[in-house]
Amino acid sequence: MSTTRPADGTAVDGVVAARATDAASVDEVRDVLRAVSSANEALLATGRGRHLTIGEPPSRCDVLLRLAGLARIREHHAADMTITVEAGCTLEAIDAQLATAGQWLGLDAPAPADTTAGGVLAANLSGPLRASLGTARDLLLGLRWVSAQGELVAAGGKVVKNVAGYDLHRAHVGALGTLGVLVEATFKVRPRPPHERALVIACADARDAIARALDARDAVEPAWLEAASGRVLGVAGAAGIAVGWLGIEQELDDAERRVRARLAGAAGATVLHALADADAAALRHRLADLSVAPAAAVLRVATLPDALGEALASLLDAAGPGSLRWAAHAANGVARVLVDDPAPIAALVAGLRPRLERDGGSLVVERAAADVKHALAAHGGVFGDPGPGRALMRRLKDAFDPGRVLSPGRFVAGI
């Protein structure tokens, strides 16, 4: 049975829950939701609490529901290349199970030992491999969740009942638990590649790094493609790139040869070294983990890939030379920038966000302390302007959670 106790001071952006409840089964989750809904309370669900700094501060939180005990691997059909896990199961545990069959999920979200299946979906977390394997939304086949009223709902693969034509399960990806409490997910998996290799290349600056990364992409499609500041990538100078591939040795030899030839003679681009297998994977994981590194704020910049270099350069120029750490999924046009000093964050957001939004991009304060988030209220808050999608998101919230029970205020536009 679920256990309830005082919330032991656990706070989400300064909002302390009145009590905390641990649940280790779907029935326990349903019981908690029924009680919370009947009492007109507000609930916030979490796995291991690793990503609670994502999103706006909740408008209220009476109950903190912890799902770390809901951590079983329900089914692994190696022949069908699917795995079904409970929401509290960590990515590390999923990877260990899949490794027994020579498979992997290919979702290199940060902090895999502390990131759960529910967390990676609710926050839409991903890593460098999104360049070739996609994000959690692309890998998700089916989902089960508990509604604000305590009903168990299923959609996508492995469903009991579903509404044909609607990918209801994908609406929960990135919604920060505002539409339901996720309890089980089914993912498609892939064969584990035999080898991994990466080239690390020094570049002149952020603009040059993005340009060289896109040159490398055009030479041969990489499995992952990251640009980063020099101190993040571990190279001398302002910036560099890392190009990674997966496959058999002959494929990797050909990819490396093509990229070296493409970048030969490029001003400011110097191939420093090649990494193989465990070393290449370690670099990829280190770059993924940058988004959870200690900082006053983590900004997520998104724009077209060929416009990313200019956006980064504008942000770096405004902050001052060498003052920011950053890494970018260059093929996807997404960069994360770590700001260590809270003082300039509001000004940086106010300066760059309007330009990005005008061109169809965005600047989201992905992680920050509560006081930093409150200071952003006059500049569009954590998320900025969601554009025409705002009305649709509000309608989804009204349909899934009309009583505003689930994580109220944490998502876009105060949802």
Residue found by looking up tokens 């326990």 in the block = 28
User: What token pair was written down for 173?
Assistant: 């990806």
Q: List the chain domain ranges.
A: 1-192, 195-379
Amino acid at 415: I
- For the chain (415 residues), the mean pLDDT of every run of 10, in chain order, is 56 90 97 97 95 94 96 96 97 98 96 97 96 94 96 77 63 96 97 96 94 93 96 91 97 93 77 91 97 96 97 93 91 96 94 94 95 93 90 91 96 90
Residue found by looking up tokens 């990515």 in the block = 91
User: What token pair was written down for 234?
Assistant: 């571990």
The whole-number pLDDT of residue 3 equals: 60
**Displacement of CA 363 from its chain's centroid (Å):** 15
The whole-number pLDDT of residue 226 equals: 98
Nearest CA among 299, 289, 300, 311 for reference residue 341: 299
CATH architecture of the domain with range 1-192: 2-Layer Sandwich (3.30)
Nearest CA among 263, 269, 211 for reference residue 237: 269
Please state the pTM of the whole predicted model: 0.93
End-to-end CA distance of the chain: give it in Å, rounded.
31
Instruction: With H, G, I as helix, E, B as strand and everything else as coil, classify residue 93.
Output: helix
CATH says 195-379 is which class? alpha beta
The whole-number pLDDT of residue 8 equals: 55
